[in-house]
């Protein structure tokens, strides 16, 4: 018996029937639900490099404040020339600074946990700061607390007043990024609080303590909660 003729056409290159051809990737975009989400960018290195850079910056800022005080012929520490003759109440001023810091830390934590913009702000700051240890957070907080208070409260506030110094303090923390805009508003409010402490106590001790504690705690919380902060050392 004769075999029926083969009616199949010969396979051509690229034909799915060609055993030598392997199907390539589908050029069509995957559905939105199947697309891989882009990885979250890793936080900045932070650490010793950031501390060194901050040391230079705050050293210059403190030097400018000292020169300002020398030129103006007054002390940066006291709000008024005659305040130096009044006995310094260290316990009262330390307590005032710590209480003010506790209130600000509590409010900032609530905002971060309960609002979208607060959460976005914390994540942006963590990405900028990178990984920081406890010691590095304390070092940055101490430098910023002393230098910024010496400049904005000790040097500027007696000349520009509470409103002017507080607004400039907020503008100094302005970053042209949408997620960081609330930081400017928060800094203006903090500037008024620190300025009121300076006027109420008559010296820089309370605002320096408040500023330093706020920064130390918030730096550690933000970099650890959102940025994978470094260890305890």
Q: What is the pLDDT of residues 102-131, one digit of tens each?
A: 999 999 999 999 999 999 999 999 998 988
pLDDT of residue 38: 38
Supply the pLDDT for residue 203: 95
The answer to whether residue 46 sits within a structural domain is: no
Chain segment 59-84, per-residue pLDDT in tens: 999 999 999 999 999 999 998 877 66
Q: Quick check: is 212 in a domain?
A: yes
Contact 74, 158 (CB under 8 A): yes
The total domain count for the chain is 1
Q: Which structural domain, as residue segments, surrounds residue 166?
A: 114-233
What's the token pair of residue 223?
A: 């970099």
Higher pLDDT, 85 or 198: 198
CA distance 116 to 113: 8
Instruction: Provide the pLDDT confidence category of residue 40 given band limits of 50, 70 and 90.
Output: very low
Could you tell me if residue 53 is inside a domain? no
Q: Say if 120 falls within a structural domain.
A: yes
- Beta carbons of 122 and 229 less than 8 angstroms apart: no
Residue at 28 is within a domain: no
Q: What is the pTM of this model?
A: 0.78
Q: Is residue 192 part of a domain?
A: yes
Tokens of 115: 């609002």
Within a domain: residue 41? no
Contacts with 116 (C-beta within 8 Å, 6 or more apart), sequence order: none
Cα gap 214→205, rounded to integer Å: 14
Task: Tell how far CA 75 is from the center of its chain.
Answer: 31
Please indicate, yes or no, if residue 10 is contained in any of the structural domains: no
Interatomic CA distance for residues 206 and 163, integer angstroms? 19
Cα torsion through 63, 66, 67, 73, rounded to 10:
180
Q: Is the pLDDT of residue 18 over 80?
A: no
* The pLDDT of residue 36 is above 50: no
């Amino acid at each position: 018996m004769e075999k029926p003729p083969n009616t199949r056409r010969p396979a051509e290159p690229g034909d799915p029937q060609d055993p030598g051809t392997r199907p390539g990737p589908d050029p069509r975009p995957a559905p939105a639900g199947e697309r891989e989400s882009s990885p979250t960018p890793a936080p900045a290195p932070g650490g010793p490099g950031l501390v060194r850079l901050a040391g230079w910056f705050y050293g210059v800022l403190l030097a400018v404040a000292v020169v300002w005080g020398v030129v103006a012929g007054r002390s940066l520490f006291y709000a008024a020339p005659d305040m130096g003759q009044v006995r310094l109440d260290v316990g009262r001023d330390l307590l005032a600074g710590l209480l003010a810091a506790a209130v600000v830390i509590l409010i900032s934590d609530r905002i971060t946990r309960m609002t979208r913009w607060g959460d976005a702000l914390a994540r942006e700051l963590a990405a900028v700061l990178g990984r920081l240890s406890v010691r590095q957070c304390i070092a940055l907080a101490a430098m910023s607390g002393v230098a910024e208070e010496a400049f904005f409260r000790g040097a500027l506030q007696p000349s520009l007043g509470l409103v002017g110094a507080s607004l400039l303090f907020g503008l100094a923390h302005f970053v042209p990024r949408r997620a960081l805009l609330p930081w400017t508003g928060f800094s203006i409010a903090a500037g008024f609080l620190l300025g009121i402490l300076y006027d109420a106590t008559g010296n820089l001790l309370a605002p320096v303590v408040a500023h330093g504690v706020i920064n130390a705690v918030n730096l550690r919380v933000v970099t650890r909660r959102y940025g994978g902060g470094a260890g305890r050392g």
